[in-house]
Chains A and B, each alone.
Chain A
Amino acid sequence: MITTVFTLLGRRLLAAVPILLIVSALLFCALRVLPVDPAAMSLPPTATIAEVEAKRREMGLDRPLPQQYLIWLKDAVHGDFGTSIVFRRQAGSLVAETLPATIELAGLAMAIATVLGIGGGLLLFYLRGRIFELVADMGSILLLSIPEFLWGLILLFLFGVVLQLLPFTGRLSPGLSQPHITGFLLLDALLARRFDIFWSAGQHLILPAAALGLAFSPAIMRVLRSSLFDVYQEDYIEQARLRGVSERRILLGHAFKNAALPTMTLAGVQFGFLFSGTLLVEVIYSYPGMGNLMVDAVRNADLPLIQTVGLTYCVVVLLINTAVDSLYVLLNPKLRVR
């Protein structure tokens, strides 16, 4: 069982490599044809034209584009993604510092979205009936119309400004410093046995994660509900009913298992979108993750950083989709037989 998981995952990952190469080449070319000169930008404004030319040669910008890309690719494979112009540090290490924060946010958000989506979907289906169905249907369309960016602002306003229950900037309260072990703040706080830090980090994380979770749960809710309707058309539901199985058990034990598969596929696709959705929520809550790094990079026209962060987003989303694909094949007995 374990080996099938790994061969499957390995095969899918291998298939993702060419896509990754094309994506990185496209990103590279798109950023190079822009009328922005990274050489001139990384020098002080007093630099002479000769100095800029020398810098261009040093950065390899005078060579043909395909050659530039190959040089970049060679460096990237060795872990060197270039130096950020603004921060004057390795772009790769800047990403490595912010990525755990974003993963932590996306992970908690996905958990919230799944719990709300499954709970809501089951509840909607359980309460099905003419009037209620119409209300629920309208409600879910209205909920679908609130993107993560508006949820972020609404929650910030409600819990941060009006009720003043939760903090809404940064990752930790001032005065506390992050213990550096893995970069995942919640985990590090537990490892360092600093429960005050854990509590503060949790408080800072809950609003942005809830905003993302709330935005992505209605889609899961709707798919689960409609798959449950499909499953209830099957004969085995009626048969279970004739055998005297309780309605609750039919729903949770028989129907839910079969409706879970299409729901999971959608949830997986949503997770990819959710991961890139962290960008806005991070901006709203000044959360020090990769999203704020990206926005900083774009504001300052920091080409190496834009390229590295942009590529990291693509890689993570590609990895998520690959993992979801493999999991889907694994959980679906119909696809397992070859």
Chain B
Amino acid sequence: MREAVSRSLRSPRVLVALGLILGIAGCAVFAPLLAPHDPGEQNLVSILLPPAWASGGDPAFPLGTDSLGRCVASRLIHGARTAMTVAVLASLGAMLIGSILAHVSGYFGGAVDWIIGRAVDIWMSFPPVILSLILMFGLGVGLDRVILAIILVDWTRFCRVLRAEVLVVTRRDYVAAARLLGFSHWRTITREVLPATLPLLITLVSLEMAIAVVVEAILSFVGFGVRADQPAWGQMIADARQYVYQSPSNLLLPIFAIFLTVAAFNLLGDGLRRTLDVRLTEIGR
């Protein structure tokens, strides 16, 4: 494992991706220190200002202001906080539920496997966008609800892909040997099976973070994401879409922020997949 980690850290893909992610995470953690203004502070005398370098720009608002005169730079930085919180918590939650069920399902087989397998099938016959909209309708808006909705939609990704891997690993001789030595089921799964499925699990988590960022942006864009007083990239896009002629940069900046974050997580996932030697045929979206 240690060898695999050092191999990953020598991969340029992983390094570039980690650099980007650390940068975005830094913005998220230190948002109140980095942002020049409070993200909710409205300056109705200076609405839709262009970035500071353009003519008519105000140096107090480095990237301009939105339709309510709120500082775009501050909202972008605080939006990173929303996006990263969702990315980390939602993907860990989905990973936890999905991988526990996958290990139980693949290791024990039989009726348990059948039930979990059918549950995944039925769950996946709901298109993800529709399912998350219906869930947000039921749960109401808010950061915690967005995270919960993503967990409830995406645990199946982990479950389906990991189960196949657990099935292969469980058939290996050393797992049978562990059972013969008198290891309990719990100990066999955590000590023998899990280390073998861990590379795939880590890769899936990083890909899921990319998905979570997109879903959060989508939900906020449609108006069923975080609460209105919480800055989010999707909300910024929805607002800028209405004033696209007056202030094109307001639309392009959050688009770029989402793209950069998603690309960083995808690049990390791809780099990990290569260096940890994970066979991942089912990419899915």
Contact = CB atoms under 8 A, between A and B. Distances in A.
A314 B127 contact: yes
A217 to B, nearest CB: 12
Contacts of B262: 145-147
Interface stretch (A82-90, A268-276, A328-336): A268-276
Contacts of B126: 23, 310, 313-314
A318 B262 CA distance: 29
Contact of B259 (A23, A145, A273, A299): A145
B255 A154 contact: yes
Contacts of A27: 134
A275 B129 CA distance: 10
Contacts of A269: 284
A161 to B, nearest CB: 5
B251 A153 contact: yes
Contacts of B137: 34, 298, 301, 306
Nearest to B139: A34
A145 B258 CA distance: 9
Q: Which of A23, A144, A222, A314 has the most CB of B within 10 A?
A: A144
Q: Report the contact-size class of chain A (Cβ under 8 Å from the partner).
A: 35 or more
Main secondary structure of the interface of B (DSSP, over half): helix
Contact of A272 (B127, B138, B241, B259): B127
B168 interface: no
Contact of A276 (B130, B136, B263): B130
B222 A283 contact: yes
Contacts of B128: 273, 276
B127 A276 contact: yes
Contacts of A279: 129-130, 133
Contacts of A31: 134, 138
Name the residue in A31, A141, A314 with the highest tally of chain B Cβ atoms < 10 Å from its Cβ. Answer: A141
Interface in A246-299: 269-270, 272-273, 275-277, 279-280, 283-284, 294-295, 298-299
B223 interface: yes
A22 B123 CA distance: 10
B107 interface: no
B24 interface: no
Contacts of A283: 221-222
Contacts of A301: 137
Among A144, A145, A150, A273, the one with the most B-chain Cβ atoms within 10 Å of its Cβ is: A145
A127 B106 CA distance: 41
Contact of B266 (A26, A141, A272): A141
Contacts of B277: none
A109 to B, nearest CB: 14
A176 B101 CA distance: 55
Given A157-B248, A219-B285, A298-B137, A280 B129 contact: yes
Contacts of B237: 153
Contacts of B248: 157, 161-162
Nearest to A299: B223
A328 to B, nearest CB: 15
A314 B267 contact: no
Contacts of A30: 134, 138
A175 B241 CA distance: 25
B214 A157 contact: no
Contact of A161 (B210, B222, B244): B244
A298 B133 contact: yes
Nearest to A219: B283
Contacts of A144: 266
Interface string A300-338: 010000100010011001100000000000000000000
A142 B133 contact: no
B267 A310 contact: no
B255 A150 contact: yes
B28 interface: no
Contacts of A149: 214, 217-218, 221
Contacts of A141: 263, 266-267, 270
A190 interface: no
A298 B285 CA distance: 24
Nearest to A318: B125
Interface in B113-146: 121-122, 125-130, 133-134, 136-138
Contacts of A295: 133, 222
A19 B133 contact: no
B155 interface: no
B252 interface: yes
B186 interface: no
Interface string A217-256: 0010010000000000000000000000000000000000
19 contacts: A19-B122, A22-B122, A31-B134, A141-B263, A141-B267, A142-B263, A145-B266, A147-B262, A150-B255, A153-B251, A156-B244, A157-B252, A161-B245, A219-B283, A275-B127, A283-B222, A298-B133, A298-B224, A317-B125
Interface of A: 19, 22-23, 26-27, 30-31, 34, 141-142, 144-147, 149-150, 153-154, 156-157, 161-162, 219, 222, 269-270, 272-273, 275-277, 279-280, 283-284, 294-295, 298-299, 301, 306, 310, 313-314, 317-318
Kindly list the 7 A-B residue pairs having the minimum CB-CB distance in the complex, ordered from nearest.
Answer: A276-B127, A145-B263, A145-B262, A276-B129, A313-B130, A298-B137, A147-B214
